[in-house]
Amino acid sequence: MHLDRFPSRLLENAVNEFAKLPGIGRKSALRLVLHILKQEVHEVEIFANSLLQLRSEVKHCRVCHNISDTDVCNICSNPSRNKSFICVVENIKDVMAIENTHQFNGLYHVLGGIISPMDGIGPSDLEVDSLVGRVNEGGIDEIILALSTTMEGDTTNFFIFKKLKNLDVKISTLARGVSIGDELEYTDEVTLGRSIVNRMNFEDSIIQ
């Protein structure tokens, strides 16, 4: 099938726009566009407007920098959350993942990425200074670093640690170890080794 020749300019424009999206090739783009063509005009308006509205009206929470509809997001403005804990994450996907655990009742701080020169992201592209600012304002007891355990995640953790270590705040990071429900013999040696070194008090382990 030749996809470079379309009988309609309008069709071609739409396909080109869809094909710009990550993970969408020209074939998929055409399939999506043809699907949209079958919809009621009204439906398509709702679809297009939601995108427009998203782009023009979305805000970043002025406290934690998470994506939000309001100036301050509904986590930061929720009075029942414990404001002395801040969990530092890479992006909104991680906020959602941690929220789904229902184990954390503190606040977040969204960095907007992790340090990776290969992807063109340096320390100044991240919301680190604003995190330091939040700590300086006072009232924060603990910062929980919750970044990926990749090289880049570790490096970013370390960078933040260096920025905060002289301030009066406890800095912790996610535990690394054997996954729950895993059999030991199938756990990779590095993780298992780390779990032995950083073993925990049994009494603490049964409180969960």
Instruction: Tell me which residues touch another protein (CB under 8 A).
Output: 115-118, 120, 122-124, 150-152, 154-155, 158-159, 162, 188-190, 193
Q: CA 112 to CA 125: how far, in whole Å?
A: 8
For β-strands 107-110 and 170-173, DSSP reports them as unpaired
Q: Which tokens go with 48?
A: 């297009």
Pick the closer one to another protein by CB: 106 or 153: 153
Other CB atoms within 10 Å distance of the CB of residue 160: 23
Pick the closer one to another protein by CB: 189 or 203: 189
Other CB atoms within 10 Å distance of the CB of residue 193: 11
Q: Are 29 and 19 in contact (CB under 8 A)?
A: yes
Q: Please report how close the Cβ of residue 191 comes to another protein at its closest, in angstroms.
A: 10
Q: Please report how close the Cβ of residue 206 comes to another protein at its closest, in angstroms.
A: 29
Q: CA 141 to CA 134: how far, in whole Å?
A: 11
Q: Please report how close the Cβ of residue 124 comes to another protein at its closest, in angstroms.
A: 8
Q: Please report how close the Cβ of residue 143 comes to another protein at its closest, in angstroms.
A: 17
Pick the closer one to another protein by CB: 56 or 124: 124
Pick the closer one to another protein by CB: 188 or 203: 188
